[in-house]
Amino acid sequence: MKGKIINYFLFFILCLYCFTSCNDAKDNYSPKTDSITISSPDSVKVDTPNVKVDSALKIPDNGIAKIKKTQKPDSAIKNDITSKDSAAALIDLSSLTKDGIVIWTLPEKMKTYVQSLVKVRIATYINKLGALKDIDTTKSNSGSSEIDVSKKMKVTLVSGKDSDFIIVAKDSIHTIPDKNYAEWLWTVTPLKAGTKFLILKVSQIEINDGKERVLEDKNVFSKEFKVKVSFAYVTTQTWNFIKANWIIISAIITFFTGLVVRKKINDGNKNKPDPQT
């Protein structure tokens, strides 16, 4: 009997110990959070990366707020720039250069006072085949060269040393299209015969704050061409002059013809014998 009482007493002590241990564990338990601390109903502090919290978020009375984790896609990040940054981005894009090609064709021989055509094309490298269309680069004074192409390019054609040409061009600056080529045309008229020279210059154009500046000190291409000029005064120059001034020339010829006829008539009258003698 005494043994049973001792067993009951030990069993009671064990149950009391277990009950006390469970209460202590419950009081000391603190669940792990996602590093989110709430100091007041109107402020939220978030240390977790890639967590977006609306500044207007209000914590309800029960102290529980739903926080949505979001991550912006690359496209949204690119578009999330100010107007000033956007303008700067446009400037940078317009200043970028691409791999391209310049193609030229000039006549090897010219005649004095006869107009000849000089042609230059510039394109990005992807449009090379289209730019080479109908141009035989194997001929003398024709060819191509790889260059760095900006959004706008300037091409000039000038007379070389001891050369005398009349060079007429419409525009020296053209925009290089993305899916085609830009073309420059000049009419060149040599004024003197002999071995003459033409110089071709290609320059990039920098666009900054909407203003264009020609980078003359950075010619991406420059080449001198030799041209043989022969005389063509009788066959060309004289005929062109007659066509342009045929009314005046006809009047002068008629005037002098009249003078000659009148002189002959007067001389004939003087040589006639006087009938009274």
Bridge partners (DSSP) of residue 143 are 104
Residue 270 buriedness (CB in 10 A; 0-12 / 13-18 / 19+): exposed
Bridge partners (DSSP) of residue 173 are 154
pLDDT of amino acid 140: 82
Fold classification of 98-230 (topology level): Immunoglobulin-like (2.60.40)
26: three-class secondary structure by DSSP: helix
pLDDT of amino acid 64: 46
pLDDT of amino acid 235: 57
CA-nearest of 233, 108, 130, 138 to 182 is 130
pLDDT of amino acid 210: 79
Q: Where are the domains of the chain?
A: 98-230
pLDDT of amino acid 190: 92
pLDDT in tens, 38-56: 444 444 444 444 444 444 4
* Measured distance CA(244)–CA(250) in Å, rounded: 12
pLDDT of amino acid 53: 44
The two tokens of residue 30 are 């603190």
pLDDT of amino acid 90: 43
Bridge partners (DSSP) of residue 207 are 212
pLDDT of amino acid 208: 83
pLDDT of amino acid 237: 61
Whole-angstrom Cα Rg for the chain = 47
Residue written as tokens 């990039």? Answer: 204
Low-confidence ranges of the chain (pLDDT < 50): 32-59, 62-72, 74-78, 80-94
